[in-house]
Amino acid sequence: MIVEYSKISDSAKVFIYPSSRKFYTTEIEELKEKIQQFLENWSLHNTPNISHKFLHNRFIVFFVDDSEAPLENNAIDTIVSFILTLETTHKISLLDKMNVCFKQGKYVQYKELKDFKKLLKNRALTEKSIVFDNLVSSKLDFDNYWETTIADSWYNRFIK
């Protein structure tokens, strides 16, 4: 069932899909409608509570609270299948977890890990630069650690 974000437990699983580019203004409403329709359909066949966020015109985030009804593999496969459809339709990448999203001023950038390392090496980014840790796994971690400094993230291993 689709529920408000505030009603999702802190232990809910988080699925973060960063887009390889910012969504165009003309795509956003259509994208939000597709997500809503998918979740309405998905929740008819699966009992966990689910919520979502669309952030920075770049991130699609699903929160699945499976504390009362376990999330089955086929439910996760259905989410991934939906995301693959969005990738094809919008000619973007959403499933590559090893690319890095970070803030540069008021903009969110998306770089391959090797390019991100070069930015650190060339001091275009510092340990205080804001990065998005798309590997967080719970709502609690999302709320507290998703948007953090490079120094406080697993990316800190690349600071020299």
The ranges of the chain annotated as CATH 3.30.70 are 5-90
Tens-digit pLDDT profile for residues 44-83: 676 688 999 999 999 999 999 988 777 888 888 999 999 9
Residue 1 has pLDDT above 90, yes or no: no
Q: What is the 3-state secondary structure of the chain? A: CECCHHHCCCCCEEEEEECCCCCCHHHHHHHHHHHHHHHHHHHHHCCCEEEEEEECCCEEEEEEECCCCCCCHHHHHHHHHHHHHHHHHHCCCCCCCCCEEEEECCEEEEECHHHHHHHHHCCCCCCCCEEECCCCCEHHHHHHHCEEECCCCHHHHHCC
Structural domain 5-90, CATH architecture: 2-Layer Sandwich (3.30)
Highest-confidence range of 23-27, 106-110, 139-143, 153-157, by mean pLDDT?
139-143
- pLDDT band (50, 70, 90) for residue 139: very high
